[in-house]
C-alpha cells in the first residue's frame, strides 16, 4: 500500500488529562508526500476555546504496512503543543485511480482520546 496526496481530516474526541482537558473537535489538511514525510495544518477547538493560531502547522513522518495499516508522528514547530502519534487504516481503494481515498485514524498519545476520518482531496 502507498499513501500520497492531500487528505482533509475531521477530528473528534477529547483530551482526558492535563491543562487542556476537555472535548476536542477540529479539521486538518495533511499532505503525504509518498516518501514517508507529511506536512499539515489544523484548526482544533479544545474545551470550547478557539485556538490562538488559526491554522497551526505541523511536520512529521509516516509509514504504511503492506496490509494497509500505518503509523504517523508529527510535531508542531511552535514548540508549545505536544507532538502526536496516530495509527491509521487506508480504506476506500479506487480501482480506476489505483489510490486509497479514505483514512481511519486513532491518536495513540497519552491523555488523548481522539479519532479522525480523512478523505483524499
pLDDT band at residue 1 under the 50/70/90 scheme = low
Q: Determine whether 65 is exposed, middle or buried from the number of CB atoms within 10 Å of its CB (0-12, 13-18, 19+).
A: exposed
**Which range (7-11, 35-39, 92-96) has the least confidence?**
92-96
| Mean pLDDT of the 94-117 span | 92
CA-closest candidate to residue 14, choices 121, 119, 109, 118? 109
Distances (CA, A) of 65 to 69, 87, 88, 89: 5, 11, 10, 10
| Mean pLDDT of the 94-108 span | 90
pTM beyond 0.75: yes
Give per-residue pLDDT as tens, 30-72. 999 999 999 999 999 999 999 988 999 999 999 999 999 999 9
Amino acid at each position: 500500500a502507498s499513501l500520497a496526496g492531500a487528505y482533509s481530516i475531521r477530528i473528534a474526541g477529547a483530551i482526558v488529562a492535563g491543562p487542556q482537558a476537555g472535548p476536542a473537535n477540529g479539521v486538518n489538511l495533511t499532505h503525504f508526500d509518498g516518501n514517508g514525510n507529511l506536512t499539515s495544518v489544523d484548526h482544533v477547538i479544545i474545551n470550547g476555546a478557539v485556538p490562538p493560531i488559526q491554522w497551526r502547522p505541523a511536520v512529521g513522518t509516516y509509514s504504511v504496512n503492506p496490509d494497509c495499516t500505518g503509523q504517523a508522528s508529527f510535531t508542531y514547530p511552535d514548540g508549545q503543543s505536544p507532538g502526536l502519534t496516530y495509527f491509521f487504516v487506508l480504506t476506500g481503494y479506487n480501482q480506476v485511480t489505483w489510490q486509497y481515498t479514505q483514512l481511519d485514524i486513532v491518536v495513540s498519545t497519552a491523555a488523548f482520546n481522539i479519532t479522525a476520518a480523512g478523505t483524499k482531496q
